[in-house]
Amino acid sequence: MERQRNISEFILLGLSYDQNVQIFCFVLFLFSYVALLAGNLVIFVSTRCSPLFHQPMYYFLIHLSSMDICYTSTVTPKLIADLLVERKTISYDNCMLQLFAMHFFGCTEVFILTLMAFDHYFAICRPLHYMLIMNRIRCNLQVLAAWAGGALHSFPQLLMIIQLPFCGPNELDHYFCDIFPLLKVACTDTYITGVLVVADSGIITLVTFVVLLVSYVIILFSLRHHSAEGRHKALSTCGSHITVVVLLFGPPIFAYPRPPTTFPEDKVFALFYTIIAPMFNPLVYTLRNTEMKNAMRRVWCQTLFSKSAHS
């Protein structure tokens, strides 16, 4: 590898050169990251410490919250720290690690969202067989398959990039190490690599999104035979999931299923799927979900009451 590159670090150009803009972004993203951590941890603890944990949908929700934290933490802390310094750098090894972690956790999250859609489908369209199909052993195997899918996606991406020669320049027009900016600074023809990246990331993003849409069309079609109360409950649950899917999938569909090149808008779209969408996930799943709100009240009110009693 040392013969293929003569650089030890990359310079990240970041979001803006304007100092005032960087200070504003620092405050905004710091607040967003703290809100994301707090919201997902509240969901994790509330679900894990309540009977909801034994329901497949909330079991998947715990894993989704974990993926949100891991996925965003691969990018956001460094972005926040870089907004306070003039020269933003990342070592070659850390760049490759960030690239792998982001694609691994991001792809795993996509597959977990798909599992949640299948869970909704079986709960609404196959209620008599639901507990048999979605028992805990099968849920564990499905989550394991999601993790395996994330690994199968991210390892080839990493292997394609580490085989490229980097001999300068070493400036990445982004705020983190992503594939297309790295392809742009590689000192070799990267057309084939770019096509393979689009075939991998683009097809996974687009096909998964289409599968999710089709599953919800089937669910909505089947709701005609349910009572008004059943339709309202199903639509409330599915509405939260559809909102998360749109927030998470919209920007990547623009970013990956396209010719392998970079655009100025890429950084703005990346903010949505690395920070904004994961931050709104806890709000979407709590504000529109009565069971989750009740579980949060029981868990946290009981905790506060216990502390008051001991004091």
Residue with tokens 């509240």: 42
Amino acid identity, residue 307?
A: K
The two structure tokens encoding residue 305? 């009451």
> What pLDDT score does 72 carry?
92
Which domains are present in the chain? 9-287 (1.20.1070.10)
> What pLDDT score does 276 carry?
82
Cβ-based burial of 146 (10 A; exposed 0-12, middle 13-18, buried ≥19): buried
For the chain, the average pLDDT equals: 82
Better-predicted residue by pLDDT, 177 or 217: 177
Average pLDDT over residues 20-31: 92
Better-predicted residue by pLDDT, 276 or 112: 112
Whether the predicted pLDDT of 80 surpasses 90: yes
Cβ partners under 8 Å of residue 56, min gap 6: 119, 134, 136, 139
Find out whether 191 and 113 touch, Cβ atoms under 8 Å: no
Better-predicted residue by pLDDT, 238 or 158: 158
Average pLDDT over residues 200-211: 79
What gap in Å lies between CA 58 and CA 169, rounded to an integer? 47
Average pLDDT over residues 66-87: 92
What gap in Å lies between CA 121 and CA 221, rounded to an integer? 11
**In the beta sheet, which residues pair with residue 171?**
11
Q: Is the dihedral of CA 227, 232, 236, 241 positive or negative?
A: positive
pLDDT more than 90, % of the chain? 25
> What pLDDT score does 310 carry?
55
> What pLDDT score does 132 carry?
85
Whether the predicted pLDDT of 257 surpasses 60: no
What gap in Å lies between CA 247 and CA 236, rounded to an integer? 17
Of the listed ranges 58-67, 133-142, 155-164, 280-289, the one predicted with least confidence? 280-289
Average pLDDT over residues 221-249: 70
| Number of neighbouring beta carbons within 10 Å of residue 157 | 21
Average pLDDT over residues 218-231: 73
Whether the predicted pLDDT of 304 surpasses 50: yes
Whole-structure pTM over 0.75, yes or no?
yes
User: HSE on the CB side for 65, CA within 13 Å?
Assistant: 25
Residue 96 pLDDT grade (very low, low, confident, very high; cuts 50, 70, 90): very high
Give the tens place of pLDDT for each residue, 173-188.
Answer: 889 998 888 988 888 8
What gap in Å lies between CA 167 and CA 171, rounded to an integer? 11
Highest mean pLDDT: which range of 182-186, 256-260, 282-286, 306-310: 182-186
Highest mean pLDDT: which range of 13-22, 140-149, 202-211, 294-303: 140-149
The two structure tokens encoding residue 199? 């075939």
Find out whether 68 and 40 touch, Cβ atoms under 8 Å: yes
Cβ partners under 8 Å of residue 204, min gap 6: 107, 110, 153
The two structure tokens encoding residue 284? 């979407």
Average pLDDT over residues 260-285: 74
Whether the predicted pLDDT of 260 surpasses 70: no
DSSP 288: T
